[in-house]
Amino acid sequence: MNLQSPHLTIEMTQEIFYCQEALPLESGESFPEFQLNFTTQGQLNANKDNVIWVMHALTGDANPQEWWSGLIGEDKFFDPSKYFIVCANFLGSCYGSTQPLSNDPQNRKPYYYDFPNITTRDIAAALDKLRIHLGLGKINTVIGGSLGGQVALEWAVTLGDKLENAIIVASNAKASPWIIGFNETQRMAIESDGTWGKLDPEAGKKGLETARAIGMLSYRHPLTFLQNQSETEEKRDGFKISSYLRYQGLKLANRFNAMSYWTLSKAMDSHDIGRSRGGTPLALSNIKCKVLSIGVDTDILFTSEESRYISKHVPKGTYREITSIYGHDAFLIEYEQLQYILKSFYLENNG
């Protein structure tokens, strides 16, 4: 399918990769087969060294021109007239890839609550099958923020010298107890929805609204809401921030499903690039590519210290920081700073 837009003259292609090979998971379970929904834009050059692989965050999809519109697209930093841009919807996500509402090939019924626990390492392993299928021996850059940065870092470990640059934004090498705690409260919200547990694609929808409202508080910063949601009149009730959080909850519940949210939040919790590799510092020290780690000064979820830690422990690391009132979600908003940081990194590190 070709996704046409009046603003795009370079065609974006959307396809489904059906993998008939089994995907063994860290849990010991496996998918006998799986699918990934992915897009490509631009052309692979003669040297096959212009692949940019974009990773989405928790609720994103395979269409980065929409959710990273200031970075990806014609005349943007990653321009498909120069690069071959690939983005795949993660295993477990509800935008076209194998997820809890997909049919289990063993009984042809939706997995629902029997969907296996997946980790960021499993998600990266599924992406690697797609890379092989596309015949991409080398990747110039993997770039992702938040969960996307976690998966990108995992993949950087296993890709070795097949990868030139990893750009890890507002992310970390291992999920902190703070992040796992936030995710747990969101799963508790989903569990408290009376429909959770039913074999129904809509199960947990109301709980997902609450989960997203909690999540939003962690994705922003007190300063964000002081600027955007402060009252101009004296009030005792009916505050702007209340309707904002309810609106954001509803907006997500109308485009996402609670089972994918559950699955991907668990994957985020599982993230630890040092697991079975002798610990985080050793795993980071074995990453071969250049790593640009970008933190956000006001990120209260993936702290800037966690981003700095990555750059300190990889052999070829650079740290840069975004200054913002938007907290964690600044990686989806602060385009001017991101472009400046990326430009400097490529000039300094890639000739």
171, 299, 304, 311: which one is catalytic?
299
DSSP type of residue 8: -
User: Residue 324 is encoded by which pair of tokens?
Assistant: 């913002």
User: Residue 10 is encoded by which pair of tokens?
Assistant: 């370079």
Q: Per CB under 6 A, which of residues 29..58 are in contact with ligand ACO? A: 57
Report the relative pairing of strands 84-88 and 51-55 from DSSP bridges.
Answer: parallel
195 near ligand ACO, rule: CB under 6 A: no
Spell out, one character per residue from 185 to 224, where the chain touches ligand HSE: x when CB under 6 A holds, - when not: ----------------------------------x-----
Task: Based on the residue annotation, tell me whether 304 is a catalytic residue of this protein.
Answer: no
User: Residue 123 is encoded by which pair of tokens?
Assistant: 């998600």
Helix (H), strand (E) at residue 322: strand 317-322
Strands, sheet with 290-296, edge to edge from the N-terminal-most edge strand = 2-3, 12-19, 34-41, 84-88, 51-55, 139-145, 163-169, 290-296, 317-322
299 near ligand HSE, rule: CB under 6 A: no
Q: Which lies closer to ligand ACO via its Cβ, residue 43 or residue 243?
A: 243
Task: Based on the residue annotation, tell me whether 328 is a catalytic residue of this protein.
Answer: yes
340 binds, among ligand ACO, ligand HSE, none (CB under 5 to 8 A by kind): none
Beta carbons of 23 and 129 less than 8 angstroms apart: yes
Q: Which lies closer to ligand ACO via its Cβ, residue 248 or residue 349?
A: 248
The SS3 call for residue 242 is helix
The SS3 call for residue 292 is strand
66 near ligand ACO, rule: CB under 6 A: yes
59 near ligand ACO, rule: CB under 6 A: yes
Q: Tell me the Cα Rg of the chain.
A: 20
Indicate the annotated binding residues for substrate. Answer: 212, 329
Binding site for ligand HSE (CB under 6 A): 57-60, 146, 219, 328-329, 332
Binding site for ligand ACO (CB under 6 A): 57, 59-61, 66-67, 229, 240, 243-244, 247-248, 255, 329, 332-333
